[in-house]
Amino acid sequence: MDRIQALELVRPHLTEHRYIHTLGVETAAAELAHRYGADAYKASIAAIFHDYAKFRPKEEMQEIVKQSDLPKDLLNYGTELLHAPVGALLLEREIGIKDEEILSAVYYHTTGNGSMTLLEKVIFLADYLEPNRQFPGVDEVRELSKVCLNKASLKAVQNTILFLMKQNQRIYPLTLDTYNGLQLEIKGKQ
């Protein structure tokens, strides 16, 4: 599958706004992949498909979690979390994507995890800082992303955790694992 085919496949699942975001994530992912040595093709395909399930009805996503091997604790946090793991599952089922690196980059694009691969970091960070995003703190992460992938990813997850806490939202354990994992990678086990 080339990127044009991928874009044609994802387009019907997204709004215009979300499609523009997706193109921004692809651009950002290409830059990060080039800078940090990730696979350019996988970065492009994972970016194009990362929000594939974003507009599935939440009842459908909850049903998929219940009837698959996805972790059931996903149901106890905001429904915003579901589109990432459900998206990975549906990409395999509906589009036939089998590449585990691409699927895991989609799976973890919202939360991250405690020991992220290079491609997972690239997609996690590209989603956060793509050029169409504008919110407090994003420029600092953009600057950091030119210097250190781990430090930029850490700042992004820190900002997300602080934002969620201010909104009195629950924080999914994987999001905290991401914070701890990146701290460990940056500072070592001291």
Binding site for Fe ion (CB under 5 A): 51, 127
How far is it, in rounded angstroms, from Cα 173 to Cα 152?
20
Contacts of 118 (CB under 8 A, 6+ apart): 36, 37, 38, 149
User: From the list 63, 73, 80, 100, which residue makes contact with ligand DGI (rule: CB under 6 A)?
Assistant: 80
How far is it, in rounded angstroms, from Cα 92 to Cα 100?
10
Q: Which is nearer to ligand DGI, 118 or 164 (CB)?
A: 164
- Cα-based distances in Å from 58 to 53, 62, 63, 88, 93: 10, 6, 8, 16, 18
Contacts of 148 (CB under 8 A, 6+ apart): 186
Contacts of 8 (CB under 8 A, 6+ apart): none
- Residue 44 makes contact with ligand DGI by CB under 6 A: no
Q: Of ligand DGI, Fe ion, none, which one sits near residue 90, judging by CB under 5 to 8 A according to partner kind?
A: none
User: From the list 68, 169, 180, 186, which residue makes contact with ligand DGI (rule: CB under 6 A)?
Assistant: 169
Q: Of Fe ion, ligand DGI, none, which one sits near residue 170, judging by CB under 5 to 8 A according to partner kind?
A: ligand DGI
Q: Which positions from 124 through 143 interact with ligand DGI, judged by CB under 6 A?
A: 127
Q: Of Fe ion, ligand DGI, none, which one sits near residue 123, judging by CB under 5 to 8 A according to partner kind?
A: none
Q: Which is nearer to ligand DGI, 33 or 85 (CB)?
A: 85
- Residue 153 makes contact with ligand DGI by CB under 6 A: no
Token pair belonging to 116: 């992220």
Please spell the DSSP secondary structure of 63-93, one letter per residue.
Answer: HHHHHSSS-GGGGGS-GGGTHHHHHHHHIII
User: Which window, 2-10, 92-100, 145-153, 168-176, contacts ligand DGI (CB under 6 A)?
Assistant: 168-176
- Residue 171 makes contact with ligand DGI by CB under 6 A: yes
Token pair belonging to 180: 């701890």
CB of 190 to ligand DGI, least distance (A): 26
- Residue 121 makes contact with ligand DGI by CB under 6 A: no
